């Protein structure tokens, strides 16, 4: 990442003659990260940046890429390049999609609607979060030709999950991304310190009207203890019984679970530690990728998220066997920058 410029230099850049040139052009994701940190509220920034406990895994997601070295080959005729690839049989313009991230409206009032328009324009894959501040219907209406998957949790009330599956299937979402690493929410210390809650004008729109208003505890916009900690491999079979959509499991970090995923007939794996937000002390996603690719042996597609900040990071992930990468936090940094445009 290029961290050589301070925010002050970016916002008050002058040429050698001392003539101010206005705001410096944003040239890498770190520029957008610094801008978002300056312009978002502390509670919002802390929510997006949060990792579990001491944030060791969150930080290692980035550091792990820096430990990987490229072995460049020369004189290979690179005069023509083509970044297109396919995911689940659909062509996208380049192998970078948007990972499921919650509450985009905290960064920019159009939120997930803006994200959907951008991914449609770029012809890449957008994994819509269950915890969106725009509904799945609003997202589809804003970008009707976009290529979208839907990120799903399994709830104690299975009917709630089942209704969401049928809802997105009817809307034309092309796959379900079953997140399996949140039997309980990770301990994100700054969220606890800040007593994080959505502001009154925002809500988890996909559950609008689903939960009765109560005085009970709330966790990230919905009643606490809604997620089902008893989720197991049998729920993959249950999900297959209620939908024809491809099922991609997000949150696998070991070869043993990768083999089980293949045996249970899923169509893809996202190697992910939830951005370091769930289990602190687990491996960086990119470090877990090679053993999973080696185990799967091309039987299903393997993707990865977590810590990807540069084109070189994308290259490293692809070289280690990922079909596509997904980025999360950088998308909300981009939305935060829209505040000034």
Q: 39 among the known binding-site residues?
A: no
39 is catalytic: no
Q: 101 among the known binding-site residues?
A: yes
Answer yes or no: are the C-beta atoms of 132 and 107 closer than 8 Å.
no
Q: 104 among the known binding-site residues?
A: no
Alpha carbon 21 to chain centroid, angstroms: 35
Distances (CA, A) of 305 to 31, 108, 253, 261, 292: 20, 23, 11, 18, 14
Task: Compute the half-sphere exposure of residue 203: CA atoms within 13 Å on the CB side of its CA.
Answer: 13
Q: 329 among the known binding-site residues?
A: yes
Q: Which strand (E) or helix (H) includes residue 295? A: helix 285-296
C-alpha 307/C-alpha 332 separation (Å) is 14
Task: Label residue 69 exposed, middle or buried (CB < 10 Å: 0-12, 13-18, 19+).
Answer: exposed
Q: 277 among the known binding-site residues?
A: yes
Q: 72 among the known binding-site residues?
A: no
Q: 129 among the known binding-site residues?
A: yes
What do you get for the CA distance between the two ends of the chain, in Å? 24
Q: 232 among the known binding-site residues?
A: no
SS3 for 220-271 is CCEECCCECCCCCCHHHHHHHHHCCCCEEEEEECCHHHHHHHHHCCCCEEEE
Q: 309 among the known binding-site residues?
A: yes
Q: 151 among the known binding-site residues?
A: yes
C-alpha 10/C-alpha 203 separation (Å) is 34
Q: 267 among the known binding-site residues?
A: no
Answer yes or no: are the C-beta atoms of 112 and 139 closer than 8 Å.
yes
Q: 272 among the known binding-site residues?
A: yes
Q: 47 among the known binding-site residues?
A: yes
Active-site annotation holder among 39, 109, 264, 274: 274
Contacts of 201 (CB under 8 A, 6+ apart): none
DSSP classification of residue 155 = B
Binding residues: 47, 100-102, 129, 151, 153, 179, 188, 250, 272, 274, 277, 305-309, 328-329
Binding residues for glyoxylate: 47, 153, 188, 274, 277
Binding residues for FMN: 100-102, 129, 151, 179, 250, 272, 305-309, 328-329
**Residues assigned a catalytic role:** 274
């Amino acid at each position: 990442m290029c961290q050589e410029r301070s925010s002050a230099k970016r916002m008050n850049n002058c040429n050698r003659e001392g003539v101010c040139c206005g705001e410096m052009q944003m040239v890498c994701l770190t520029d957008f990260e610094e801008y978002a940190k300056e312009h978002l509220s502390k509670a919002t920034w802390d929510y997006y940046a949060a990792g579990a406990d001491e944030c060791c895994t969150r930080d290692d997601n980035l550091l792990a890429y820096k430990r990987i070295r490229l072995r460049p080959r020369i004189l290979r005729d690179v005069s023509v390049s083509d970044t297109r690839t396919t995911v689940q049989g659909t062509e996208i313009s380049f192998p970078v999609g948007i990972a499921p991230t919650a509450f985009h409206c905290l960064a920019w009032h159009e939120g997930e609607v803006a994200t959907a328009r951008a991914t449609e324009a770029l012809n890449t894959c957008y994994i819509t979060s269950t915890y969106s501040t725009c509904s799945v219907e609003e997202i589809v209406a804003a970008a009707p030709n976009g290529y979208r998957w839907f990120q799903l949790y399994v709830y104690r009330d299975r009917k709630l999950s089942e209704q969401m599956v049928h809802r997105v299937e009817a809307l034309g979402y092309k796959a379900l991304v079953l997140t399996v690493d949140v039997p309980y929410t990770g301990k994100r210390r700054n969220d606890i310190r800040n007593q994080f809650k959505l502001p009154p004008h925002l809500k988890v729109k996909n559950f609008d009207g689903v939960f009765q208003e109560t005085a009970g505890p709330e966790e990230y916009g919905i009643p606490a203890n809604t997620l089902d900690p008893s989720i197991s491999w049998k729920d993959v079979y249950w999900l297959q019984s209620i939908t024809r959509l491809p099922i991609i499991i997000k949150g696998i970090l070991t070869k043993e679970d990768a083999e089980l995923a293949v045996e249970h007939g899923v169509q893809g794996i996202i190697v992910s530690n939830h951005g370091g937000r769930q289990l602190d002390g687990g491996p960086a996603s990119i470090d877990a990728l090679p053993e999973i690719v080696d185990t799967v042996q091309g039987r299903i597609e393997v993707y990865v998220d977590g810590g990807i900040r540069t084109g070189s990071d994308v290259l490293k992930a692809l070289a280690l066997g990922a079909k596509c990468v997904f980025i999360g936090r950088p998308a909300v940094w981009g939305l935060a920058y829209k505040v000034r445009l």
